[in-house]
Copies of this chain bind each other. A is one copy, B any other.
Amino acid sequence: MAIAEEIPRRDETGVSVVVRFCGDSGDGVQLAGNRFTFDAVRAGNDVATFPEFPAEIRAPAGSTAGVSAFQVQFGDHRVYTHGDEADVLVAMNPAALTTNLAHLKAGGILIADTGAFGRKALAQAGYRDNPLDDFDPHRARLVGVDMTAMVLEALGGFDMKRREALKSRNFFALGVVYWMFGRGEDEMLQWIGKKFARSDTVRQANTAAFKTGMAWAETTELMAFERPVADTVAAGERTITGNEALSLGLMAAAALADLELVVGCYPITPASDILHYLSNERDNGVVAIQAEDEIAAIGMALGASYGGAIGVTATSGPGMALKSETLGLAVSLELPLVVVDVQRAGPSTGMPTRAEQADANIALAGRSGEAPVPVVAARSPADCFHAAIAAARIAVEHMTPVVLLSDAALANSAEPWSTPELADIAPIRVPRARAPAGGAKWLPYARDARLVRSWAVPGTPGLQHRIGGLEKLDGTGEISYDGANHERMTDLRERKVAVIGERLDDAIEVYGELSGRLLMVSWGGTYGAVRQAVCDARQLGHAVSHLHLRWLNPMDDSIGDIARGFDRVLVAELNRGQVLERLRARFLVDARGLSMMAGRPFGRRELHNAIVKALNS
């Protein structure tokens, strides 16, 4: 396992801005946010986004339960998080304002559709009086604009019902924000043209609303914002969410291995989109099946792997629990299998749309008996692509199930994305069984130097064999109740996973020096926030480094060596110390946990405060 000591780069300071759109689920704030983000990327910025959807069921229009929000941070340097607080908050109705005002920085800009603050809407949001009426200028600069009226007026000539016309309000808002940040009008108009090609009315309405918004911003001399400019950061060609990147990564892995990709899934928030994406890829050879439940889904994936494909199943916490028994079988059979867990807040049904990292336990230890499984975690939306390839690579090359952890925040957040070159990625070697020379007997549980058995796919003449979940004799795979053999097989299964560590170049990444006062440890989706906070602290001259764990299992001894080089070690995770526990047990270092269980990623300031506290303690 190699340790990469990353040299802190110049590109980590600069200008960045956070914009947050909020409104009713029907107001199109997700579309507005995504579009704005996209043009920021095209302008050469780095971005990080965070969408917040209402809880599962559609709440009544105008209610606080129905509020949807989208936050994006963009900048001319590396942007690691979606930002703690918004510089600009766009609120489409009172319910959105009341639930989102706390996200606006003191002294920021609040753009609100004053036309949406009617009596009924105010009451629905729980306001007695209109909060815009005597808005405290110290709290924020209020930019009130009657989008409703202006849009209705601009669209007066179209043959549209009021309700439909009002659906273009988000484009008015975009017009305002585009003007503020000097984003190109032409690109937007082109895109509207393509996106709404099917309906003349809608296309023209959105175009008109957007232009009206821009014009209004210009005429009212709305202050233009200090505009982040693209710097050395290579921005992407587009943005990508974690679930999409993960899906593409699985497909890329199949291509790199020259194997079929078979996906068995049962829908569950926030993993369902992986099923949706892959169901669309039938023309590209993907077989995606919606199973009757999670147990069937992993069963199908395992059956597919047995049949010579890369079997994949994707789920979230409750589904992960259901897959435990079959995952144990996969360990015993030693077949490749990728189990994706897009973590959400638990226990039980918990908060299905919210992010958490509390499935490390179940991924590492949630099986009966000794059933070791490699576990890898993606660290950012775009990284889901690479993490998926890594998971599939280890699964296939080492004939083992692998758990790939993502989370609700990574799943839906977006990052810039440029087309990866598959030629730059090492192909995945498939340990196919071959009939041994000289008429010798092929043994299903004979192993190579890395303790990997070979894969005899049904259909291959001459290699017929039987495998199963009962303990098997080392080598032949026959059923065995022999105690010494069980001891040996347990040991083999353990070492087989342990040796994978020797080849994981990406397992540990240290940012900063290899010793110092404080080591911040992250894994999975806490990467960005921790990196940002460590950057900040280093700029203030603190001797803080950052260790990111890509693999939760196997863990290399060098992690202990690194940790021992610091006065203090702080493990930041969205749980109560699950990976912390492993680090302490393994390396006997007195690492401490920085735990948060609020259903959302860490904020930059929270981490900064924790770092300062740890340094002063």
Q: Which residues of A contact B (CB under 8 A)?
A: 55, 316-318, 320-322, 324-325, 328-329, 331-333, 343, 345-354, 356, 358-359, 361-362, 364-371, 468-471, 479, 481, 483-484, 486-487, 490-491, 493-494, 575-576, 578, 580-582, 584-586, 588, 590, 596-600
Contact = CB atoms under 8 A, between A and B. Distances in A.
A584 B586 CA distance: 8
Main secondary structure of the interface of A (DSSP, over half): mixed
B469 A348 contact: yes
A599 B366 contact: no
Contacts of A331: 347-348
B361 A365 contact: yes
Contacts of A487: 596-598
Contacts of A55: 479, 481
A575 B486 contact: no
A358 B345 contact: no
The number of times this chain is found in the oligomer is 2
Contacts of A343: 368
8 contacts: A321-B368, A332-B349, A333-B348, A350-B471, A354-B486, A362-B367, A486-B597, A585-B585
A481 B576 contact: no
A494 B575 CA distance: 12
A126 to B, nearest CB: 15
Contacts of A354: 481, 483, 486
Contact of A584 (B368, B486, B584): B584
B318 A328 contact: yes
Contact of A348 (B332, B351, B366): B332
A192 to B, nearest CB: 34
B365 A365 contact: yes
Given A318-B328, A351-B486, A585 B576 contact: no
A350 B483 contact: no
A490 B584 contact: no
Contact of A362 (B345, B353, B365, B481): B365
Contacts of A598: 483-484, 486-487
B329 A325 contact: no
A349 B486 CA distance: 13
A322 B325 contact: yes
Given A486-B598, A584-B584, A599-B481, A575 B348 contact: no
Nearest to A293: B295
B346 A371 contact: yes
A318 B322 contact: no
A346 B328 contact: yes
Nearest to A320: B368
Which 6 A-B pairs rank lowest in CB-CB distance, beginning with the nearest? A346-B369, A317-B368, A483-B598, A348-B469, A347-B369, A347-B371
A348 B372 CA distance: 12
A358 B599 CA distance: 32
A317 B362 contact: no
Nearest to A343: B368
Most buried by B among A328, A329, A575: A328
A433 to B, nearest CB: 22
